[in-house]
Amino acid sequence: MPDTNAPNAPGVAADAALDAALAEGSAKAPPPSAAEQKIAELESQLREAGDKALRAGAELENYRKRAQRELADERRYAIVPLVRDLLAVVDNLERAIGAAEQAGTGSQSSAAGSAADGPLLAGVKMVASQLEGVLKQHGCVRIETVGAPFDPNFHQALAQEPSDTYPAGTVTREAQVGFKLHDRVIRPAQVFVSTGPGKN
Q: Are 124 and 97 in contact (CB under 8 A)?
A: yes
pLDDT band at 28 (very low <50, low <70, confident <90, very high): low
Domains of the chain: 139-200 (2.30.22.10)
Q: Quick one: pLDDT at residue 41?
A: 87
Residue 113 to residues 14, 108, 186, 197, Cα–Cα distance (Å): 135, 9, 39, 44
Which of the pair, 155 or 114, is modelled with greater confidence?
Answer: 155
Q: Quick one: pLDDT at residue 87?
A: 94
Instruction: Please state the pTM of the whole predicted model.
Output: 0.64
- pLDDT tens for 71-125 read 988 888 999 999 999 999 999 999 999 988 888 766 555 444 454 468 888 999 9
- pLDDT tens for 32-50 read 788 888 888 888 889 999 8
Nearest 10 degrees: Cα torsion 107, 111, 116, 122: 60
